[in-house]
Structure 1
Amino acid sequence: MTLLDIRLLTVQEYDLMTEIGILDEDERVELLAGQIVKIAAKSIAHGATIKCTVELLQNRLGSLVLMSIQDPVRLNDYSEPEPDIALLVRDPRYYAARLPTAADIYLIVEVADSSLKTDCGIKATIYAQSGIADYWVLDVNNQQLHLFREPSQDGYLSRVILGYDASISPLQFPDISFCVSEMLWQLNDD
């Protein structure tokens, strides 16, 4: 069997598919490396972790950043993912005229339950190739944080897994720290 020659979609074509109704605006998909990919269904733990982490980041970083929650970012001509959380450079127009790009992103956080392989695989590669310097994956099942830094065209050169009791600071805000347990705390309060 031979591999098929796949035609990749551009972000312009992908956006047009939504605009003219080929893709429904509420359809749970994103464009990754030129391919339309279904976004995994969200569990209760996934949603709770996003809410907890957003509140924690907002309380500590306040007006230093603009918080984007499950909104698209344009990384290149073939990728327009919708990260769970993106900390953005403040824009006076709140990115009304364009989507945020890699240059606008301080940190991307993905929350993974069933999506850990994708978040630590293809998404990490795309984020690295786009120059996202700080990428975190909160693993709700194993209650740990996958930390990706030092992006290159081959992927992240630094990949570390931090345990539940570890602390971390965003690269752009080294004086502000977070404990992994603070982002995952609800999961232990059953």
Structure 2
Amino acid sequence: MLTNIRQITVNEYHQMAEMGIFHPEERLELISGQIIKMAAKGTAHEAAITRTQRIFNQRLGNQVLIRTQSPIKLDDYSEPEPDIAVVKTNALDYEDHHPQPSEIFLIIEIADSSLKYDREVKTSAYAKSGIIDYWVLDLNGRKLYVYRLPNAEGYQSESILGENLTISPLAFPDCQTKIRDFLMKV
């Protein structure tokens, strides 16, 4: 790691946004103290988010809150905006803070053009912060990467599941879903 890079904190990132440094339509997220420009959202990406959100809303109902492309705070230097965050319910709907790792059951990133970034950069950030269940849905490869058992070096468990297999979140083992249900029908 380079030592001459100055990391931006979450608080500084928020101050920059409040000062109007970023264009209001600019899609950004803070990962490990660096401001990252997010890829444009295509129709397949958006459809997969909609399908995934619908599945979890139907199966988990009021047990959880499903947040889509909304910030979560991993630590003082990372505030990503995952495609799907399955989080604990909150009386204020997180009006006073963004969900933090202890409040997060599952993070899902939908990858069409971002597979390498989601599997490398985001995997590292999520593991270091202790996100216990992280999935990357590969739209092009029609498979799901499942990361579990996080520690400071990364995830100790990585599985790659084909579209005909079934998955359930660690926190909700009865919520079984075929991976193909998250994907475009072919």
Q: What is the TM-score when the length of structure 2 is the normalising length?
A: 0.97
Question: In the alignment, is residue 90 of structure 1 matched against residue 89 of structure 2?
Answer: yes
Query: Which amino acid in 2 is paired with 1:77?
Result: D
- What's 2:105 paired with? 106
- Write out aligned runs for 1:51-90 (5 A): 51-90=50-89
- What's 1:176 paired with? 175
Query: Any idea what SS the aligned residue of 1:126 has?
Result: helix
Deviating above 4 A after TM superposition, structure 1's stretches of 4 or more consecutive aligned residues are: none
1:185 deviation in Å?
3.5
Query: Any idea what SS the aligned residue of 1:158 has?
Result: strand
- Write out aligned runs for 1:16-27 (5 A): 16-27=15-26
Q: 1:94-114 CA deviation, whole Å, 9 max, x = no partner? A: 000111111110000000011
Q: 1:141-185 CA deviation, whole Å, 9 max, x = no partner? A: 000000000001000000110001010010000111011000003
Query: Any idea what SS the aligned residue of 2:149 has?
Result: strand
Query: Which amino acid in 2 is paired with 1:154?
Result: E
Query: Which amino acid in 1 is paired with 2:133?
Result: D
Report the Cα distance in structure 2 between the residues aligned to 1:25 and 1:72, rounded to whole angstroms: 15
Unpaired runs of 5+ residues, structure 2, are none
Query: Any idea what SS the aligned residue of 1:128 has?
Result: helix
- What's 1:167 paired with? 166
- What's 1:158 paired with? 157
Unpaired runs of 5+ residues, structure 1, are none
Q: What is the TM-score when the length of structure 1 is the normalising length?
A: 0.95
Query: Any idea what SS the aligned residue of 1:162 has?
Result: strand
Report the Cα distance in structure 2 between the residues aligned to 1:4 and 1:127, rounded to whole angstroms: 22
Query: Any idea what SS the aligned residue of 1:181 has?
Result: helix
- What's 2:124 paired with? 125
Q: 1:36-68 CA deviation, whole Å, 9 max, x = no partner? A: 001011121111111111111111111110111
- What's 2:31 paired with? 32
Query: Any idea what SS the aligned residue of 1:157 has?
Result: strand
Report the Cα distance in structure 2 between the residues aligned to 1:30 and 1:42, rounded to whole angstroms: 14
1:23 deviation in Å?
1.4
**How many residue pairs end up in the alignment?**
185
Q: 1:119-157 CA deviation, whole Å, 9 max, x = no partner? A: 000100100000000001000000000000000100000
Asked if the contact 2:44/2:184 (under 8 Å) is kept, the reply is: no
Question: In the alignment, is residue 42 of structure 1 matched against residue 44 of structure 2?
Answer: no
Query: Which amino acid in 1 is paired with 2:71?
Result: P
